[in-house]
Amino acid sequence: MIGILLARLKLFVRNPWTFLIFTGMSIFFAFIIGSSEMGGSSIYVPIHSENETIRDSIIGKELAKEEAYSFSWMSEKALKDKIESGKAELGIILHENTFEVLVGVDSPNKGLVQQTVQAAYTKKLQQEQLIDNISTRSDKDKIVEEFTNLRHSPVFKMKTSSFQNEDSFVYDNSLHSLFGFTLFFVIYTIAYNVLPILTEKQDGVWDRIILSPVKKWEMYVANLIYSFLTGYLQVVVIFLTFRFLMGVNFYGRFIESLLLLIPYVFSIVSLSILITAVVKKAQQFNAVLPIVSVSMAMIGGAYWPLEIVSSKVLLTLSKINPIKYGMEILNGATVYGYSFHELLFPISVLVLMGVIMMGIGIHLMESRHV
């Protein structure tokens, strides 16, 4: 088994192009498509006010602190242009005691942005009421300072959670692109590393190894370990590139994201075995693989969030698609901050899919003399 792994490694070093090309393509596409918000991982919201003082007031300061949204100050005309050209989903016009939301795309983000701006106005109101009830000027400054300190260092913290309604979801475009393209392109790397099982069977190399003291299970395990490691290495390289060269913080769950990808990579190795077992020639494999991978990526939500898909047929199909569960795990771990326990369902589905596809694939390969 070690001999087979060493030979595979040598072949990889001599011809690393498949790996490098697909790794490069993942990075390129994720960077281009997710780059509009790369690093900040926040939703772009243009903002305007006729009253210049609002920007420096507590409202402006509160909005500037928001991490989930990137509020960008501009003229009213520029704001409307951004919405009309589709560069922003919505825009906010702030007044002294109220605000307007200009909506270009009616997405769930509208309600979330509205809540955030409303919260800033509430804080402004609280501060104003406090100041109004204080008589002297010296007291005012002291109490406002004390109030601000208390807000930042409260005696106790209260954390609130709420159920999301069916229409709302948090969508981080840059991470979605990164995850989507990583899960998509790694299919090719893994599949092209499983393909040699088919070509070696046709070339007689496989027969030669069968006649040697090497056991058949060792032949399969060596090939599958190699395919798994190559696929996983690609994922690690892509994530490391985005984490350390482009500053994507993965919501502080970088290591978890990498570890949680193991079931996905395993299921793709199994899928590749199944495809290799079904086709008869490498040419058929080359024709089938793009069809399977692209349709899986579309149905599984690698290119766009599944939450915007309304077709019941597509949503049903997505339930037998490893990419859906891979995306669920990655988005769950990072954007939603789910615990391992909450991610157990998609992890289990991927492991189950992997075991079933591997079982059927190897059975088909063994029952057919190529």
Partner 1 sequence: MIELVDLTKKFKDAYAVKNLNMFIEKGEIVGLLGPNGAGKSTAISMLSSLLDPTGGDVRYDNKSIIKSPSAFRKVVGMVPQEIALYEDLTAEENLRFFGRIYQLRGKELNRKIDEVLEQIGLTDRRKEVVKKYSGGMKRRLNIGVALLHDPEVIIMDEPTVGIDPQSRNYILETVKRFNEERKMTVLYTSHYMEEVEFLCDRIYIMDKGNLIASGTKEEIKRILSSENTISIKAERFSTDFIESIKNHPSVNRITVGEKEILIIVPRAVNMFSEVIRIAEQFHIELSSVDNKAPTLEDVFLHLTGRALRD
Selected range binding partner 1 among 10-18, 110-118, 300-308, 359-367, rule: CB under 8 A: 10-18
Query: Alpha helix locations (H) across the chain?
Result: 2-14, 17-34, 53-56, 58-65, 76-84, 109-132, 137-152, 173-203, 205-211, 216-240, 254-260, 262-278, 282-300, 312-318, 322-333, 340-367
Q: What minimum distance in Å lies between the beta carbon of 6 and partner 1?
A: 8
Residue 339 binds partner 1, judged by CB under 8 A: no
Query: Of the two residues 116 and 199, which places its CB atom closer to partner 1 in the complex?
Result: 199
d(CA 350, CA 352): 5
Residue 16 binds partner 1, judged by CB under 8 A: no
Among 128, 146, 203, 342, binds partner 1 (CB under 8 A): 203
Residue 205 binds partner 1, judged by CB under 8 A: yes
Residue 365 binds partner 1, judged by CB under 8 A: no
Residue 204 binds partner 1, judged by CB under 8 A: yes
d(CA 273, CA 279): 10
Tokens of 302: 């690698």
Going by the DSSP 8-state scheme, the letter that residue 245 receives in this structure is I
225 within 8 A of 55, measured Cβ to Cβ: no
Residues 299-338 that bind partner 1 (CB under 8 A): none
CA nearest neighbour of 192 among 319, 113, 282: 282
Among 208, 216, 280, 319, binds partner 1 (CB under 8 A): 208
Query: Of the two residues 16 and 39, which places its CB atom closer to partner 1 in the complex?
Result: 16
The helix-helix angle for 216-240 and 173-203 (nearest 10°) equals: 150
Query: Of the two residues 122 and 212, which places its CB atom closer to partner 1 in the complex?
Result: 212
**Amino acid identity, residue 163?**
F
* CA distance readout (Å), 186 to 33, 180, 234, 291: 18, 10, 7, 15
**Binding pattern for the stretch 163-202 against partner 1, x by CB under 8 A and - elsewhere:** ---------------------------------------x
Residue 39 binds partner 1, judged by CB under 8 A: no
Residue 14 binds partner 1, judged by CB under 8 A: yes
**Amino acid identity, residue 130?**
L
Among 86, 154, 213, 252, binds partner 1 (CB under 8 A): 213
Residue 7 binds partner 1, judged by CB under 8 A: yes
- How wide is the angle at C-alpha 170 spanned by C-alphas 68 and 95, nearest 5°? 50
> Beta-carbon neighbour count of residue 9 at 10 Å?
13
Residue 9 binds partner 1, judged by CB under 8 A: no
Q: In which residue are the tokens 């970088």 written?
A: 254
Number of residues that bind partner 1 (CB under 8 A): 22
Residue 17 binds partner 1, judged by CB under 8 A: no
Selected range binding partner 1 among 208-216, 307-315, 331-339, 347-355, rule: CB under 8 A: 208-216
Residue 367 binds partner 1, judged by CB under 8 A: no
Residue 211 binds partner 1, judged by CB under 8 A: yes
Residue 139 binds partner 1, judged by CB under 8 A: no
Tokens of 349: 């589905």
| Contacting positions for partner 1 (CB under 8 A) | 2-4, 6-7, 10-11, 14-15, 202-205, 207-214, 369
